Amino acid sequence: MAQDALAAPLAARPVGWLDRFARFFDRYLLLVYTGFAVLYLMLPVFVIALFSVNDPIGRSNVAWRAFTLKYWLDPFGVPGLFDAVATSLKIAFASTFVATALGTLIALALVRYQFRGAGATNLLIFIPMATPEIVMGASLLTMFVAIGRPPFFPLNELTILIAHIMFNISYVVVTVRARLVGFDRHLEEAAMDLGANEWTTFWRVTFPLILPGIIAAALLAFSLSIDDFVITNFTAGRTVTFPMYIWGAARIGIPVQVNVIGTIIFLVAVGFVALSVVLGRRRA
């Protein structure tokens, strides 16, 4: 903006050193700063990856010692880690499936229809996203304890799943709604004019068009679920998910294999995003 600001009145004014500084600031310093900011953001990711090829003595993997690939060749070589990752994946798939279905229906209702209570619905969708996770986890815990009997107590995989579906619904609604807002209703009207009934119109016209939004929401829900620690901490009982495993190991030292799994999850997620970008380009 400093550059744009200078452009017009420049002709009338002599260029002083302050102007030069402002232009330098705008042209170079902002970009240099952004480079450093991105490095700062990625630094921990780099550290995680670096320490996945470290060969520490003992369990404490916090100082660089020597390069090795042995943990990459045996990523589940510590007891319990495979089960923890499997549990996380299971809960992530299940909660993504349910939350995406429920959230998409809400998003459709909010964008496509005008009805009494839309404002209250919007607020009910927003508030879980603006509640600290610890409060949601704690309140679910008190409810499960108050019920005090199976299938809710003792806490188990089902209670984690219930919690993950709960916090994911809002994110799905918000993501799908964002894609639905620009939706051209004339396409549906055209289908109806050509004799399709509402059911056919939905599955043949509406659904394929909003599918990218639904997929984006599902990916977000999956990544939130698989990485959730706080709410899981309160609703897991003795069940160990991948984040719970890290939490338990943090005191005595996180095994190198955990860094390997963390790096793999990062690479897979980045791969998915790259894939969606490529597919999006091809579509366009």
Partner 1 sequence: MGAFLTRRRGLVPYLLLAPGLLWLAVFYVYPAFQMFISSFWSGTLETGFRFSLDNWRTYPAAIERYAEQFGRSILYATAATILTFLIAYPLAYTIAFRGGRAKNLLLFLVVAPFFTSFLLRTFAWKIILGDDGIVLGPLKDLGLVEPGFRLLATPIAVVSGITYNFLPFMTLPIYVSLEKIDRRLVEAAQDLYAGPWRPGGTIVGAAVGAGLFGLLGAIFAFELPLMVGLGALGGAVVGTGFLSESFARVTFPLSLPGVFAGTLLVMIPAIGDYVNATLLGNPNTSMIGNVIQQRFLVNNDYPTASALSFILMAAILVVVTIYARLLGTENASVARGL
Q: Name which of residues 245 to 264 contact partner 1 (CB under 8 A).
A: 246-247, 250, 254, 258-259, 262-263
What whole-number distance in Å separates Cα of residue 14 and Cα of residue 12? 7
| Binding residue (CB under 8 A) for partner 1 from 95, 96, 175, 257 | 175
Q: Is 92 in the site for partner 1 (CB under 8 A)?
A: no
Torsion of CA 72, 75, 78, 83, to 10 degrees: 170
Q: Is 143 in the site for partner 1 (CB under 8 A)?
A: yes
Tokens 């597919």: give the residue: 279
Q: Is 275 in the site for partner 1 (CB under 8 A)?
A: no
Smallest distance from partner 1 to CB 73, Å: 20
> CB-wise, 45 or 279, nearer to partner 1?
45
Tokens of 272: 């998915």
| Binding residue (CB under 8 A) for partner 1 from 89, 138, 158, 205 | 138
Tokens of 81: 């880690």
Q: Is 83 in the site for partner 1 (CB under 8 A)?
A: no
Segment lying near partner 1 (by CB under 8 A), choices 76-84, 160-168, 184-192, 204-212: 160-168
Q: CB burial class (10 A; 0-12, 13-18, 19+) of residue 277?
A: exposed
Nearest to 210 by CA among 247, 243, 172, 238: 172
| Binding residue (CB under 8 A) for partner 1 from 139, 151, 190, 207 | 139
Nearest to 108 by CA among 214, 197, 204: 214
